[in-house]
Amino acid sequence: MNWFERTISVLSPGWAYRRWAYRSAMAELERLYDAGSLDRRNARWTPTNQTAEQADAPYRDRMRARARDLEQNSDIEGSIIRAFRRNVVGLGFTLQAHVKTRDGEGEDEVLNQQIEALWKRWCLPRNCDISQQQSFSELCRMAVERTIVDGGLLFVKNYTASGPVPFCLQAREVDDLDTTAFYRTENGNLVVAGIELDAFNRPVAYYLRTVTPDGFTTGMSTRVDAQRVIFLWDRRRPSQVREVTRLAPTLERLRDIEEYMEAVSVKERVAACFAMFIEKQLPTSGMGRGNTTTPTDAKSGYANHTLTPGMIYEGQPGETAKAITPPASGSSARDFVALQQRLAGSGQGLSYEATSRDMSQVNYSSARQGLLEDQSEYAIMQQFLVAHLLDEVYSEFVISAVLSNALPMPGFWSDKYRYLEHEFIARGWSWIDPQKEADANATALDTGQTTLAATCAAQGADWREVLAQRAQELAAARALEEQYRLPEGSLLKSVKAGTVKSEP
């Protein structure tokens, strides 16, 4: 009981007991959730519930600036970004058009090849990029980088008279969104953080600043209809309106690593120098010292020197030298940085091995398990990129080709979805142990557990191209066997064995 209950117990013991019992019961109920208690450990942990935009808006620009700073100066952040860049996009996505015939019994291979050939031409820098500087694969790699660092990237659809189809893309940074635009339009839409939203938080238009080529804004903005804008950003809450850098949970850790490594580097540079301190028996200055050019400390009378490699200092009579050997900290720094890099990578869904390229702590099984988890993380971003960018661009590409008569598609508008059937094959990943993986794939194919299309897609290959190339190789091998009168199948057997032996 507290002092108040002890006091009233003198007048009414029953009242005091009931009050103490109820208070104790409420305290026990509160302890059912330690994270919700307000005890000593959680006394200063008092966050508030806010909408996503209320929580993000005050810190969005600052976190983006810090993420960019680390992007330019932190090799660990660079390793995280490049891991996604290599494995999500790599050399690009392969298009497979799947336009079926009108009867639906098969695919129109001629039209599909025409679409794929035209798409390949359009993906060149001079056709897909309005600035004619980046290919479509390079735009995709930039989209991955900016989505991680900045939180998002905008692509504006532009329609021109040049190129194989009258359509190209213009990449715009999220900084171009006019955040000063905040008002309610005549139709009741609200403009928040440069985006015009309807009653369902659906983007209606984007207000983009007018920026000069040298990077200065003119103070004016242009309203661009949402149908012309592809806004790539990772939405994690229903009330979220705009992007937040994906590196937000790891920025402080990355900054700590950089500052720690700078301190260790300075310490190791000092330790690498042969340092000596001069001890004077009579630390006085004056006679015989008047012509010295070395600054002298007024309080102690010692000359101020800096440590440089190979430095030799000649002392005066009555002075003794004392060697200083600072302790090295290389081993402890290695463990600390490895732990921090592991945590920074895991905060972005990647293993330590994927970001550090250090395989000294894994065997085949653990490396394969870690690689599979990393590939799952890459596949999520691949799916995001395909759904929000590639599919949208492909639809606009086909429609522009139809409007410009670049592709023969009769009855397109009445049968649009049949003509737009397609698939993008993402980059594949190499095997850790090719023999084991090949045997496993062969067994899965023989037992019907997988298909050739799935197996080739896992390697980033088109199964049709694989079969066509294989057919050409077999035909060429048979032709050479007939030309040189070799036994049938001997050439392929010798190539498989690694040696080509001619027979009379």
pLDDT tens digits along 81-102: 999 999 999 888 999 999 998 8
Q: What is the pLDDT of residues 334-367, one digit of tens each?
A: 888 888 888 888 888 888 888 888 887 888 788 8
Quick check: is 252 in a domain?
A: yes
Task: State the virtual CA torsion across 375, 377, 382, 385 in degrees, nearest 10.
Answer: -170
For range 149-171, the mean pLDDT: 92
**Cα 131 from Cα 153, distance rounded (Å):** 16
Q: Is 323 helix (H, G, I), strand (E, B) or coil?
A: strand
326 domain-assigned: yes
Domain that holds residue 15: 3-47
Asked if residue 265 belongs to a domain, the reply is yes
pLDDT band at 329 (very low <50, low <70, confident <90, very high): low
Lowest mean pLDDT among 12-16, 56-60, 138-142, 297-301: 297-301
Q: Is the pLDDT of residue 118 over 90?
A: yes
| pLDDT digit string, tens, across residues 394-430 | 999 999 999 999 998 999 999 999 999 999 988 776 6
**Residue 424 falls within a domain, yes or no?**
no
The pLDDT tens digits of the residues spanning 237-288 come to: 999 999 999 999 999 999 988 888 888 887 777 777 655 555 656 555 544 4
Residue ending a domain, choose from 11, 31, 47: 47
Q: 3-class DSSP state for residue 320?
A: strand
Is the pLDDT at 48 greater than 90, yes or no? no
Please say whether the beta carbons of 310 and 265 come within 8 A: no
Mean pLDDT of 214-235: 89
Query: What pLDDT score was predicted for residue 500?
Result: 46
pLDDT for the residue numbered 502: 43
Q: Which residues, other chains included, contact 243 with Cβ-Cβ below 8 Å and sequence gap of 6+? A: 60, 147, 150, 151, 152, 174, 233, 234
30 domain residue, yes or no: yes
Q: What is the mean pLDDT of the chain?
A: 82
In the chain, how many domains are there?
2
Residue 121 and residue 134 in contact, taking contact as beta carbons nearer than 8 Å: no
All residues at 6 or more sequence positions from 375 whose CB lies less than 8 Å from its CB, including other chains: 87, 429
> Does 373 map to a domain?
no
Q: Which of 308, 332, 347 is the last residue of a domain?
A: 347
C-alpha atoms less than 13 angstroms from C-alpha of 312 in its C-beta half-sphere? 1
Reported residue count of the chain is: 504
Contact 323, 313 (CB under 8 A): no
Q: In a 3-state reduction of DSSP, which class is residue 233?
A: strand
**Residue 298 pLDDT > 90:** no
Give the rounded percent of residues in the chain with a pLDDT score beyond 90: 37
Check residue 446 and give its pLDDT. Answer: 83
Give the per-residue SS3 of 132-164.
Answer: CCCCHHHHHHHHHHHHHHCCEEEEEEECCCCCC
Question: Within a domain: residue 331?
Answer: yes
Closest CA to 418 of 103, 64, 71: 103
Instruction: For residue 200, tell me if it sits in a domain.
Output: no
- Among 152, 175, 298, 316, CA closest to 236: 152
The pTM (predicted TM-score) of the whole model is 0.75
Q: Is the model more confident about 432 or about 356?
A: 356
In this prediction, residues 450-474 reach a mean pLDDT of 78
Residue predicted with more confidence, 341 or 301: 341
List pLDDT tens digits, range 62-73: 999 999 999 999
